[in-house]
Homo-oligomer: A and B are copies of this chain.
Amino acid sequence: MSLDVAVVGATGYAGGEILRLLLGHPAYLSGELSIGALMGASSAGQRLGALMSHLPQLADCVIEETDISRLGNFDVVFLALPHGHSARVAEQVGDDTVVLDCAADFRLRDAHTWTKFYGAEHAGSWPYGIPEMPGHREDIRQARRVAVPGCFPTGATLALLPAVQSGLIYPDVVITSITGVSGAGKKAAVAFLGSETMGSLKAYNVAGQHRHTPEIAQNLNEFSQEPVTVSFTPVLAPLVRGILTTATAPIREGISDAQIRESYEKFCAKEPFLHLLDPGQQPQTQDVVGSNMCQLQVQLDEYSRRLVVTSAIDNLTKGTAGAAIQCMNLICGFPETAGLAQAGIAP
């Protein structure tokens, strides 16, 4: 019997990427998985073809009004909604339905922090969907709900976790993450017009103001002996997809380049979506476009005695929709890599 899937918020960028990945998923192609409903808000009643012309197979599907009370009828529900809407879903949908939430609602464990950054009451926390974090793959497999991670936290966590966990660095990390504009979503705004973003670079929400800062800190603290301090500077760059993260932290005395490399090699070994590049090669976002990979490089700066690590992901794939599919695969018993490309669309 076929697994019936609903996508709520189907016409945003995250929703569209979930649909793109589902359409290429072997379970969909073999009929084991079906796309049962596309739900939306302002787009309800329209044909998908008028809104997402890159998905010709679904051109004639009509967007339905979001109806949370119906979600319990589906086997898997992807939520691609603005922050703050998922608590009601959690209340109304039983555990027979797998819920994969791409919003931030259930990512943070600390209620105070959630309220400070999102300005509303904390709804709780769900298993956090980065299977590459030690212990998480097993948790996700058992879960019926997953908080799909933010895009910046995915790139930053995978970049720094091996160093933090192995205690090679002092936990005072400085991160600059440069992102494509699709991270801003599909809503009309002058600041994200092509005229304002092509050919320009701009930092934003600097100095600890970006909502992903506490999420990065939570992830790193989960594996750190000492509390981690995070300085996080996001930068908007003129590309559509991709996040390049550069991160640095002071290295502890006596630690060598070889030790650092070994900890990263160990972390990446057997992980299908982590690729530690050869020494001297740097990750580039182009190489992961449309793929679920995180490419990584790590190096010791002898001069400043700092670790320098870089990672590249596609913010819409590994950073959002790909992570959601990866979690669905784990929960539903598909191969973890099913429907998720390792090769990027380059050039």
Decide if A62 is an interface residue (CB 8 Å cutoff).
no
Give residues 281-331 of A contacting B (CB, 8 Å).
281-291, 293, 295, 297, 299-306, 308, 310, 312
A residues in contact (CB < 8 Å) with B: 13, 16, 19-20, 23-24, 26, 47, 49-50, 52-57, 59, 172, 174, 176, 178, 180-182, 184, 186-190, 192-204, 206-208, 213, 229-231, 233, 235, 237-242, 244, 246, 248, 250, 275, 277-278, 281-291, 293, 295, 297, 299-306, 308, 310, 312, 341-347
CB <8 Å contact, B201 and A239: yes
> Does A341 lie within 8 Å of B24, measured CB to CB?
yes
B23, B47, B193, B306: the one within 8 Å of A231 (CB): B306
Docked pose: A227 CA to B175 CA in angstroms: 23
Taking CB atoms, residues of chain B closer than 8 Å to A277 are 49, 53
Q: How many of these chains are in the complex?
A: 4
B188 touches A56 (CB 8 A): no
The distance from the CB of A261 to the nearest CB of chain B, in whole angstroms, is 13
List chain B residues, Cβ under 8 A from A184.
Answer: 193, 195
Cβ A244 vs Cβ B203 within 8 A: yes
Residues of B within 8 A of A304 (CB): 172, 208, 229-231
With a 10 A CB-CB cut-off, give which of A195, A229, A286 has the most chain B CB atoms.
Answer: A195
Chain B residues with CB under 8 A of A347: 13, 16, 182, 186, 193, 195-196, 240-241
Q: Given A188-B189, A195-B192, A208-B303, A200–B54 Cβ distance below 8 Å?
A: no
Contacts A238-B239, A300-B207, A343-B56 hold; do A190 and B186 have CB atoms under 8 A apart? yes
Known interface pairs A193-B193, A231-B308, A238-B238; A198-B181 also in contact (CB < 8 Å): yes
Q: How far is the CA of A278 from the CA of B235 in the complex (A)?
A: 19
A240 CB contacts on chain B under 8 angstroms: 194-195, 198-199, 347
Look across to chain B and name the residue whose beta carbon is closest to the beta carbon of A288: B54
Interface contact B282-A56, CB-CB below 8 Å: no
| B306/A199 in contact, CB under 8 A | no
Out of B55, B195, B283, B285, which one reaches A186, CB within 8 Å?
B195
Nearest CB in chain B: distance from A23 CB, A: 5
Q: Are A246 and B203 in contact (CB under 8 A)?
A: yes
Do A54 and B202 have beta carbons less than 8 Å apart? no
On whether the beta carbons of A199 and B53 are closer than 8 Å, the reply is no
Contacts of A207 in B (CB 8 A): 299-303, 306, 308
CB contacts (< 8 Å) of A283 on chain B: these are 53, 202-203
Q: Please determine whether A200 and B233 come into contact, CB atoms closer than 8 angstroms.
A: no
A203 to B177, CA, bound (A): 11
Question: Of B54, B192, B195, which one neighbours A345 at CB under 8 angstroms?
Answer: B54
* Bound CA span A174–B189, Å: 32
Q: CB-nearest residue of chain B relative to A277?
A: B53
Q: Which residues of B contact A16 (CB under 8 A)?
A: 346-347
Known interface pairs A200-B242, A208-B304; A284-B53 also in contact (CB < 8 Å): yes
Beta-carbon contact of A303 and B213 below 8 Å:
yes
Selected from B56, B208, B229, B345, the residue in CB contact (under 8 A) with A290 is B345
